[in-house]
Structure 1
Amino acid sequence: MRLLPIVTTAAVAFLVVACSTPTPPRGVTVVENFNSTRYLGKWYEIARFDHRFERGLEQVTATYSLREDGGLNVVNRGYNVDRGMWQETDGRAYFTGSPNRAALKVSFFGPFYGGYNVIALDKDYQHALVCGPNRDYLWILSRTPTISPQVKQQMLDAATRQGFAVEKLLWIKQKPV
């Protein structure tokens, strides 16, 4: 039974390191010439890889605003169908280097940061492809609750080129505006 505390400690240590890595996955290219002011505002989650902290949520949005310290406020909001209620989580994000490079670290849980990397973005800042610190996290975001088949294919192609398994994407239910 001494093995259980050791395994538990190792698992917690692994999760802390994995979730606090703010760099993009190896081989993934982030958007350059990024304009954070144009990125501000509300984004609808069109698709994502499944993960614990958004499991069961529909109508998910992320809203970004400027912080006084130069970072970004992040408000994630989604409807939990099983509980019949809205859930909201506040976070903060900071650039890991130049603010012209779309590589950020984001925290929703105290001092722990994870990567937030914009890896595809149209010139009008209407559609974005975002990944986390590894290829287990991927989101397709849009300024509108739906995207055209052409935009969907562009995002899938961009994700595939960067080495993501797009067949794992969950398509999120959104209500039209």
Structure 2
Amino acid sequence: MKRYFTYLKSSFFVVFIAIFMAGCFAQKEQKVFQVKDNFNIYDFTGTWYEVGSTKNSSNLSDIKVNFAVDNGKIRVVKTGHLPDGSSKKEQFLARFGLDDKNASMLEISRYGLIYEPLYIVRNDRYQYAMMYIGNKDISIVSRAKTIPEVVRVIYKDKAKSDGFDIGRIEWIKQR
């Protein structure tokens, strides 16, 4: 009987490793975006309003994203309201993606195991910012609940020149 459980444990381990390795090799090649080297995470911390996104699949409104540095760890908390009025909250861990702590490239993870690049490609005096999550999603954030039209145009032009489909950007309702 003991031998049977040992067999099951070792089989599970082999299957887990095989699935993990297949997932690693199946990932698409990530496009690398240019980042700024004068980024200050402490100026970036605090509450931001997400005003535009390509990843608002649950039709959230009133989305807030809070970046905090706690004991050297970067924590990201995203909250919003669902159409039925209930709240939704997601928590992420982040870390610097490069050795340079002044570069505007982080890696973000929901579960702490697999990290995805988060490029802060536009940062206008820590009042407005545009981030690319991986090479497929865009998040536009602001310290205020809206952004000027000129900032929208600049950010859409930047995303388009970087190869994104700007028609996928949803402008999020903030009350």
Q: TM-score category by the smaller chain?
A: 0.7 to 0.9
Structure 2 residue 44 is matched with structure 1 residue 39: yes
Unpaired segments ≥5 residues, structure 1: 1-8
Structure 1 contact 16–112 (Cα < 8 Å) conserved: no
Distance, in Å, in 2 between the alignment partners of 1:152 and 1:110 is 32
Kindly provide the amino acid, as one letter, of the partner of residue 66 in structure 1.
V
> Cα RMSD between the aligned structures?
2.6
Task: Check conservation: 2:63, 2:78, Cα contact below 8 A.
Answer: yes
Q: Which residue of 2 aligns with 1:73?
A: 75
Give yes or no for the alignment of 1:125 onto 2:131.
no
Seq. identity, %: 27
Distance between the aligned counterparts of 1:174 and 1:141, measured in 2? 12
- Determine which structure has greater relative contact order: mean sequence separation of CA pairs < 8 Å that are 6+ residues apart, divided by chain length: 1
Query: Are the aligned partners of 1:127 and 1:143 in contact in 2 as well (CA < 8 Å)?
Result: yes
**Which AA in structure 1 matches 2:54?**
F
CA contact (8 A) 2:117 2:133 kept: yes
1:118 is paired with a residue of what secondary structure?
strand
Task: Tell me the TM-score normalised to structure 2 length.
Answer: 0.80
Q: Does the 8 Å contact 2:93/2:112 carry over to 1?
A: no
Distance 1:170 1:16 in 2: 32
**Larger of the two Rg values belongs to structure:** 2
How far does residue 118 in structure 1 lie from its aligned partner after superposition? 0.3
Instruction: Name the amino acid aligned to 1:36.
Output: I
Pick closer, same or farther for the CA change 1:14–1:137 going to 2, 3 Å: farther
Q: Distance in 1 between matches of 2:127 and 2:105?
A: 18
In the TM superposition, what are the counterparts of 1:72-91 in structure 2 within 5 Å? 72-82=74-84, 84-91=85-92
In the other structure, the counterpart of 1:58 is 61
